[in-house]
Chain A
Amino acid sequence: MIDREEVRHVARLARLQLSDAEVDRMAVELAGVLEHIATIEQLDLDDVAPTSHVVAVENALRADEPQPSLPRERALASAPQVADDGFAVPSPQA
C-alpha cells in the first residue's frame, strides 16, 4: 500500500528528515495503519455531506480594530537565533 519511495516523498512534503532505518520502519507501520483505515472504503458514502466542523458556527468575525500585539523583544525572546531585530535563519549566501 505504501512503499519506501512513497514514504520518502511524503517525508519531503512534511519537511521531515528520516534515516534509512526510519523509512523502513515507517513503511511497515504506516501500511498496518492504512490497512485498518481502508475499512471505511466498504461504506456507501456517495450522498453523504462531509463534516469538517461539528458545531454550526457561521463566520466568526470580530470588529476590524487594531489591538496591541506582542512587543518585539518578547516575540523574539525564545528565538533560536536573532539578527537585526528579526528571526535569523541559515542562508547559503550568509
Chain B
Amino acid sequence: MSEIIALSAAQAADAVQRGELDAGELFEAYRARAAADQLNAFVWVAEGVPAAVEGPLGGVPLAVKDLFCTEGVPSQSGSRILEDYRPPYTATVVERLAAAGAPLLGKTNQDEFAMGSSTENSAFGAVLNPWDRRRVPGGSSGGSAAAVAARSAPWALGTDTGGSIRQPAALCGIVGLKPTYGAVSRYGMIAFASSLDQAGPLTRDVTDAALLYSRMVGPRDPRDSTSLQFPGAIERPTRSDLAGVRIGVPGELTGEGIEPGVLAAFEQTLEVARTLGASVERCALPHAPHALAAYYVLAPAEASSNLARFDGVRYGYRAAGASDLTEMYTRTRHDGFGAEVKRRIMLGTYALSSGYYDAFYGRAQRVRTKIAEDFAAAFERFDFIATPTAPGVAFELGAKTADPLAMYLNDFCTVPMSLAGIPAISIPCGLAEPPGGGRELPVGFQLAGPAFSENALLGASFALEQALAFDGSAPHEA
C-alpha cells in the first residue's frame, strides 16, 4: 500500500501502463486514504472502484474541487445554499480527464464559492494544513492542496480566480498551475468571477502538473464561449538548465509585506536559477500594487451578478414559510450564504450601482488594462516574472478571519497575473519559520509567463525543481 502511495501520479500512470500496477488497486489505495482523511479536505469520497478506463492518465484517481459540477455527485461550492446539490451534468474538464483515464476519487472542500484564502469560509468546516494542523492550507482550493500534500489524493483539480490554486499550493508545499485564461473550459464550473476563473492542476511535482494539464487543454469547448484551442500540445518537461532564460523580479511584489523567511527562500531560489544559467534582473510592474484594489472591485462585481442565480427556485436551499417571492429570495440568500459571500455580493452590488459604476467598476477595468500593459512591456525584456507566491507561510486558523483586508492581502502577489490572464505556476522552493517562530513551513516560488507559455513555464519549473530537490515530505498521515 505505502509503495503505491509513494509513487507520483506520472509514475503510477506509467506503472499501470506497463502492467506492473493494477488500476483498481491504485484507486482503492487512495480511496481508503481519502475516506480516512482527518484534515476535512474531502466533502465526498467515491464509494467503490469505478470501471477501468484505458487512457494516458493510467487510471490515476483525481480529487476534484467541490465547485466542479459532477453528475449525480454533490457539487456544492462549499455553500449551504447548494448543500447536497447533485447536478444533472458534468463539467467539461472533469469529463475530459475521466475519459483520459483519471476517474473521480472525491470532491474537495473549499472556501464558499471560492471566496477566500484559507478555506475557513466553507459551510462544511475549515480544512487543516497537513504540515501543521493548527494552520490553514490556504485557499480557496485548500481541500485539493491539503489532499495532495497529505497524499490522500495523487493529484487534484482546483480553480484560481486571484490565486486560489497557487496560494494553497504554496502553503501546502506542492505544485499549482494557473493556466492562461481561456485555455481550459469553464463549462460546469460554478462561477465566481467569470473573466478571471480558470481550472488548473494541483500536484506533487511539475511532471504530474504537465501530465494532468496536457489532458485539460484541447479543442475549444463549444459550451464555453470564452474557451480557446490551446496552440500545440503540453509536453512532459525535461529541461535541465536555464541557459539563456531571462527572469525579471518586480520590486513592487518582492519588498514590503513579504515575511523575511519567505523572502530569504525566494532569494535563494533566484540564486539557484542563476546557477542553472538564467539571468536575473529587477524589472518594473508599476501598477501591480493597485491590482488588489482593482480585483476587489471586479471580482465581487462579477460575483454579485453570477450569484444572482441562487434564489431558491430551481435547485438548492429554500427558506421555508415565505409569503411572497421577494421574501423567499431575500431570506433564502440570507440563510444560504456565509458572511464572506454576503460581503462580496454587497461590495459588488455597491460597485455596480447607479452613481458608483464609473468611479469603481470603470476605473478598475482601466487599472486592469494598465496591469496587462505592464506585463506586456516586461515580457519584451524577460521570459518570466518571478515573485514569492504568497507573502507569508501558512498562518494559524482564525488569525485573519476578523479582518477581511488582512485576508485579501494574501493574494497580493498572485492577483496581478489573474487580471492580465497570463499563466503562472507555484513550485515549493524551501521552508521558512513562521514570524512567531516554530516548525518550518513550505514557501512557494511563483513564475509567470506570457499567454500560452505553459510549456516554457513547466520546463523552467522542472529545471528549478530538480536543482532545488525540495523534500516535499509533509507529515503523510491523512
Contacts and interface: CB of A to CB of B under 8 A. Distances in A.
A45 B367 contact: yes
Given A18-B342, A36-B292, A50-B368, A79 B297 contact: no
B342 A22 contact: yes
Contacts of A18: 334, 342
B346 A7 contact: yes
Contact of A26 (B85, B346, B359, B362): B346
Interface string A44-80: 0100111111110100101000000010001101111
B313 A87 contact: yes
B323 interface: yes
A70 B324 CA distance: 29
Nearest to B300: A33
Interface stretch (B43-51, B98-106, B221-229, B428-436): B221-229
B349 A10 contact: yes
A92 B322 CA distance: 9
A6 to B, nearest CB: 8
Given A30-B350, A50-B368, A51-B368, A90 B195 contact: no
Contacts of B134: none
Given A55-B421, A57-B226, A50 B293 contact: no
Interface string B299-334: 000001000100111111110001111111111011
Given A54-B421, A55-B182, A91 B367 contact: no
Given A10-B350, A15-B329, A55-B421, A33 B363 contact: no
Given A50-B365, A51-B372, A54-B372, A40 B293 contact: yes
Contacts of B365: 50-52
A52 to B, nearest CB: 6
B346 A16 contact: yes
B311 A60 contact: no
Contact of B420 (A54, A79, A91): A54
A11 to B, nearest CB: 7
A17 B335 CA distance: 9
Nearest to B421: A54
Contact of A40 (B195, B294, B451): B294
B400 interface: no
A92 B323 contact: yes
Nearest to A71: B88
A41 B293 CA distance: 10
Give the size range of A's interface with the partner: 35 or more
A45 B350 contact: no
A13 interface: yes
Contact of A79 (B292, B314, B323, B372): B314
Contacts of B308: 15
Nearest to B290: A40
Interface in A29-45: 29-30, 32-34, 36-41, 43, 45
Contacts of A78: 85-88, 314-316
Contacts of B331: 17
Given A36-B296, A77-B88, A15 B360 contact: no
A87 B294 CA distance: 38
A15 B311 contact: yes
B366 interface: yes
A64 B432 CA distance: 57
B410 to A, nearest CB: 14
A14 interface: yes
Contacts of A81: 318
A29 B315 contact: no
A79 B451 CA distance: 41
Contacts of A16: 330, 333-334, 337, 342, 345-346
Contacts of A45: 363, 366-367, 370
Contacts of B287: 43
Contacts of B312: 80
A83 interface: no
Contacts of A13: 349, 353
B405 A33 contact: yes
B116 to A, nearest CB: 14
A40 B364 contact: yes
Nearest to A47: B366
B239 interface: no
Given A52-B365, A55-B182, A70-B89, 10 more contacts: A6-B350, A15-B311, A16-B333, A17-B331, A18-B334, A18-B342, A29-B404, A33-B408, A49-B369, A81-B318
13 contacts: A14-B349, A16-B334, A30-B350, A32-B403, A34-B347, A45-B366, A48-B369, A50-B368, A54-B181, A57-B226, A75-B88, A78-B314, A90-B323
Going nearest first, the 7 A-B pairs with the smallest beta carbon separation are: A54-B421, A50-B365, A78-B315, A80-B318, A17-B334, A60-B225, A17-B330
